[in-house]
């Protein structure tokens, strides 16, 4: 072989080794990501409830023995092209408690709502395994009274 052919083979071998190393890197990264322990959150939600063109829902997000309540407000259906949604300031109340036991707290806040679903973060607490928790979410606006939705969930741990 001449020098030029030998140099070409050397470059080809170096390129192949580099490509092999680069192709192996994602496999190592995937292995690392797969061994990471993930915490599982189970979410139990009430059915959506209709109230003055809006839909409301309350959820209990349970991770181990920790519970967080979430309230959601969305449109009850698609907006009408003739009457696009108008911005609204809604008053929300979200509370949680252990069934037959202590209150986990309550939050009250105003939220700006247009057309996208809005999530309200509520009380959080640590609860004994096997306990049942209950959450209530209510939305009001000038001219309408509350129409609360409720969820019950068991903390399985």
The CATH code for residues 42-154 is: 2.60.40.10
Domain map of the chain by residue range? Answer: 1-38, 42-154
Q: How many helices (H) and strands (E) does the chain have?
A: 1, 9
Contact present, 26 and 85 (Cβ < 8 Å): no
Alpha helices by DSSP H, listed for the chain, are 3-35
55-97 pLDDT tens trace: 999 999 999 999 999 999 999 888 777 777 788 999 999 999 9
Give how far the C-alpha of residue 84 lies from the chain's centroid of Cα atoms, to the nearest Å: 27
The answer to pTM > 0.75 is: no
For residue 49, what are the CA distances in angstroms to 82, 91, 135, 144, 148?
25, 16, 14, 15, 8
- The H or E element spanning position 138 is strand 132-140
């Amino acid at each position: 072989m001449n020098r030029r052919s030998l140099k070409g083979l050397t470059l080809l071998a170096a390129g192949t080794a580099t490509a092999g190393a680069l192709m192996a890197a994602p496999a190592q990264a995937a292995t690392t990501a797969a061994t990471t322990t993930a915490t599982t959150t189970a979410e139990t939600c009430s059915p959506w409830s209709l109230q003055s063109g809006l839909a409301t829902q309350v959820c209990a997000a349970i991770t181990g023995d920790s519970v967080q309540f979430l309230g959601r407000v969305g449109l009850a259906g698609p907006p009408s092209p003739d009457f696009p949604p108008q911005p609204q300031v809604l008053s929300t109340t979200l509370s949680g408690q252990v069934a037959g036991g202590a209150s986990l707290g309550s939050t009250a806040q105003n939220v700006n709502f247009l057309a996208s679903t809005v999530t309200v973060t509520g009380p959080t607490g640590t609860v004994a395994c096997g306990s049942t928790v209950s959450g209530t979410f209510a939305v009001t606006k000038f001219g309408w009274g509350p129409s609360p939705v409720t969820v019950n969930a068991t903390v399985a741990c």
